[in-house]
Amino acid sequence: MSKSTNIIWHESNITKADRYKQNNHKSAVLWFTGLSGSGKSTLSVALENELFQLGIHTYRLDGDNVRHGLNKNLGFSPEDRSENIRRIGEVGKLMSDAGLLTLTAFISPYQEDRDQVRSILEKDEFIEIYVKCNLEACESRDPKGLYKKARAGEIKGFTGIDAPYEEPTNPEIIVETDNQSLEESVQVIINYLKEKNYLVND
């Protein structure tokens, strides 16, 4: 719900098309979603390295990092998670307007919230990447020891344990990190971006 009234949009002279032309690649939001420990951060870091080497202008937004600043007033209730995703969607949209390929790594457990982000971006500007990994594998990785805490009841409402994760119904890309190596997953995404002409200005 918007509280702002009497506000009028002011256009810039530089359009997104101008930025495409200068950057020589398109902008988009690569939206990684998956359980904690599925590999969203690891994969987005590795992919960003590859894209950077290819001369693509990128930026990475990561759940843990953004919750240190912009979203430090949000917790993990369903409402706060939705607001977290709404804000990141808006930041992603600004970054797309700025001509960047943005990589976001948030659990984003609700399909409705992810669809809402999709709806504010232009067609083909939202690329949903399901980082698929079964709960057992995520839990055995437990890179931050959070599953252990959740099982011990020290964290309430932990995704996959006592809070839901809704699998994407129609993602652009699925990577299976319990079956594929990190390098394979990176390559699947690079191939998608090349095939769909995101990395060149056509």
Ligand X SMILES: Nc1ncnc2c1ncn2[C@@H]1O[C@H](COP(=O)(O)OS(=O)(=O)O)[C@@H](OP(=O)(O)O)[C@H]1O
Residue ranges for the known binding site for ATP are: 34-41
Q: 61: how many CB neighbours lie within 10 A of its CB?
A: 20
CB contact at 8 A, 97 and 11: no
- 67 sits near ligand X (criterion: CB under 6 A): yes
Candidate list 27, 33, 38, 104; residue touching ligand ADP; CB under 6 A: 38
**From the CB of 24, what's the least distance to ligand X, in Å?**
32
State the Cα–Cα distance between residues 11 and 92, nearest whole angstrom.
18
Candidate list 31, 33, 39, 88; residue touching ligand ADP; CB under 6 A: 39
User: Residues 2, 108, 181, 185: which is the catalytic one?
Assistant: 108
- 102 sits near ligand X (criterion: CB under 6 A): no
Near ligand ADP in 166-195, by CB under 6 A: 177, 180-182, 185
What SS3 class is residue 11? coil
Question: Among residues 55 and 75, whose Cβ is nearest to ligand ADP?
Answer: 75
3-class DSSP string for 141-152: HCCCCHHHHHHC
Q: How many residues does the chain have?
A: 202
Q: What strands lie across the sheet with 58-62, from one edge to the other? A: 58-62, 101-105, 28-33, 126-132, 173-176
Question: Among residues 57 and 104, whose Cβ is nearest to ligand X?
Answer: 104
* Residue 28 β-bridge partners: 101
Residues near ligand ADP (CB under 6 A): 34, 36-43, 105, 141, 143, 177, 180-182, 185
